[in-house]
Amino acid sequence: MMRFLLLFSRQGKLRLQKWFTPMTEREKKKITRDMTTMVLSRQPRSCNFLHWKDLKIIYKRYASLYFCLAIDNQENELIALEVIQRYVELLDKYFGNVCELDIIFNFEKAYFILDEFLIGGEIQETSKQMVNRSIEASDMLQETMEEYMSKPAF
């Protein structure tokens, strides 16, 4: 099971945070601080896996943005790396050539995409097409509410 996903910039600015298990604000802040210092101090070309307490931290850098995913100890590290990759692909597909700014200015969209992809710390939908279809279906509500209501989008 995944525990949390953090997106932060090279300066350590938090861009997105998703906690899959209940945590207090203080814990969240402490973890965020720990993660940014730990991940940002890593040398390039070193291993993408870290230990933190009893969790495994999988991180990957895309341009200026770091994706940092915490998983339980018995989980598979490599597949977690692919979870990050798939999320980036989903963002890319939605925003079209995604960059950090897309996520900064449309972070709620990034959350919606994440919620269609992961739920409660588990993979919900692995198909790129499916995730995008459901996001777009919800997005369309804005323009064509009436039209949409008459025929369900799924």
Alpha-carbon distance 74 to 78, whole Å? 12
Q: Go through the chain and tell me how many residues it has.
A: 154
Other CB atoms within 10 A of residue 12 CB: 14
Biggest CA–CA distance in the chain, Å, is 55
How near is the Cβ of 145 to other proteins at its closest, in Å? 8
How near is the Cβ of 41 to other proteins at its closest, in Å? 10
How near is the Cβ of 70 to other proteins at its closest, in Å? 14
Residue type, 136: E
Three-state SS at 7: strand
How near is the Cβ of 143 to other proteins at its closest, in Å? 10
CB burial of residue 89 (10 Å; 0-12, 13-18, 19+)? middle
H/E segment holding residue 136: helix 128-140
